[in-house]
Amino acid sequence: MALGLSLRLFGLGEESFWFDEAYTWTTSTQLSLPDATAFDPFYPPLYPTIMWYWYAIGDTEAWGRLLSVIFSMAVLPVVYLIGRQIASNRLGLIAAGLLAINPIQVQYAQEARAYGLLNLLVALTLWAIICLTISRRHHLAAAVTYVVSMGLILLLSNISPVILGVANLAVLLVVVRRRDLRLALTWTGLQVLAVLPWVLIWLPSFVKQWDNMTDAYWMPHVTPVYLWNVIARDMFAAHLPYYAFGLVLIVVAGLTLYGLVVVRQFPRGKDTSLILAVFIFAGPIATALISWAVNDVLATRQQSWVTISIALVLAAVVSRGLEHSHPFDRVAYSLLGGMLALIMLTGTSVYLLSQNKEDWRDVAEVVDLKPRDVVVYTAAHTEMPFAYYADLPPVVQTIGADRGRHKIDTWAWRVLDNGAAEVRMPYVAERKAGESSTSRLDEAINAVGARRVWVIDSEWDTDAALAKDTKEFLDKYGDVGETYTWKGNPWASPGVSPVTVRLYEIKDNQNESE
Q: Do residue 194 and residue 93 come from a single domain?
A: yes
Q: What is the C-alpha R_g of the chain?
A: 25
Domain that holds residue 505: 360-513
- 393 and 318 in one domain? no
- How far is C-alpha 403 from the chain's CA centre? 24
494 by Cβ neighbours in 10 Å (0-12 / 13-18 / 19+) ranks as middle
Is residue 115 pLDDT above 90, yes or no?
yes
User: Are residue 276 and residue 183 in the same domain, yes or no?
Assistant: yes
Where a domain ends, among 321, 352, 383? 352
User: Has residue 184 got a pLDDT over 90?
Assistant: yes
CB 67 within 8 A of CB 57: no
* 254 and 162 co-located in one domain: yes
| Phi, psi of 507, deg, nearest 5 | -70, 135
Total domains, the chain: 2
| Over residues 278-284, mean pLDDT | 91
Mark whether 271 and 419 lie in a shared domain: no
Please say whether the beta carbons of 63 and 231 come within 8 A. no
Flag whether 122 is in a domain: yes
End-of-domain residue from the set 329, 352, 375: 352
* Domain assignment present for 454: yes
Residues 426 and 337 in one domain: no
* 314: in domain: yes
Other beta carbons within 10 angstroms of residue 450's beta carbon come to: 21
* Spatial distance between the Cα atoms of 484 and 500, rounded to a whole number of angstroms: 6
Q: Above 50 in pLDDT, residue 511?
A: no
Question: pLDDT of 60-105, one tens digit each?
Answer: 999 999 999 999 999 999 999 999 999 999 999 999 999 999 999 9
Which one, of 165, 90, 173, 82, lies nearest residue 120 by Cα?
A: 82
Q: With beta carbons less than 8 A apart as the criterion, state whether 148 and 131 touch.
A: no
The pLDDT assigned to 490 comes to: 47
Tens of pLDDT, residue by residue over 356-397, are 788 889 999 999 999 999 999 876 568 888 989 998 887 665
| CB hemisphere CA count around 273 (13 angstroms) | 18
Average pLDDT score over residue span 41-69: 91
Neighbours of 289 (CB within 10 A): 13
- Same domain membership, residue 365 and residue 340: no
Domain membership of residue 371 (yes or no) is: yes
The mean pLDDT of 467-481, rounded to a whole number, is 82
Bridge partners (DSSP) of residue 399 are 408
Query: CB neighbours of 10 closer than 8 A, spacing ≥ 6?
Result: 352
pLDDT at 410 over 70: no
Which ranges of 395-482 does DSSP label H, i.e. alpha helix?
428-432, 439-448, 464-477
Residue 416 confidence (pLDDT) above 60: yes
432-to-42, 401, 429, 437, 462 alpha-carbon distances in Å: 21, 22, 5, 10, 17
Say how far apart CA 432 and CA 102 lie, in whole Å.
Answer: 44
Residues 346 and 454 placed together within one structural domain of the fold: no
What are 204-249's pLDDT values in tens digits? 777 766 665 555 555 556 666 666 666 767 788 788 877 777 788 8
* Region 273-302 average pLDDT: 79
Lowest mean pLDDT among 52-56, 224-228, 411-415, 448-452: 224-228
The answer to the question of residue 205 being in a domain is no
pLDDT tens-digit profile of 444-462?
Answer: 999 999 999 999 887 665 5
Which of 304, 336, 352 is the endpoint of a domain? 352
CA pair distance 196, 411, nearest whole angstrom: 39
**pLDDT of the residue at 400:** 43
Residue from 357, 496, 351 nearest 21 by CA: 357
Q: Are 128 and 80 in contact (CB under 8 A)?
A: no
Cβ neighbours of residue 190 closer than 8 Å, sequence gap 6 or more: 143, 146, 147
Q: Over the chain, what is the mean pLDDT?
A: 84
Would residue 25 count as lying in a domain? yes
Nearest C-alpha neighbor of 102 from the set 122, 129, 75, 66: 75
- Contact (CB, 8 A) for 455 and 378: yes
Residue 206 maps to a domain: no
How many whole angstroms separate alpha carbon 132 and alpha carbon 142? 7
Assess contact for 486 and 469: CB atoms under 8 A. no
Residues 169 and 38 in one domain: yes
298 and 405 inside one domain: no
Q: Note whether 407 and 276 are same-domain residues.
A: no
On whether both 345 and 364 belong to a single domain, the answer is no
Of residues 154 and 324, more confidently modeled: 154
pLDDT band for position 3 (cuts 50, 70, 90): very high
99 lies in a domain? yes
Q: CA 211, 306, 83, 1: dihedral to nearest 10 degrees?
A: -100
Pairwise CA distance, residues 190 & 338, whole Å: 40
Name the more confident of 427 and 155: 155
Euclidean distance between CA atoms 453 and 442, whole angstroms: 11
pLDDT beyond 50 at 166: yes
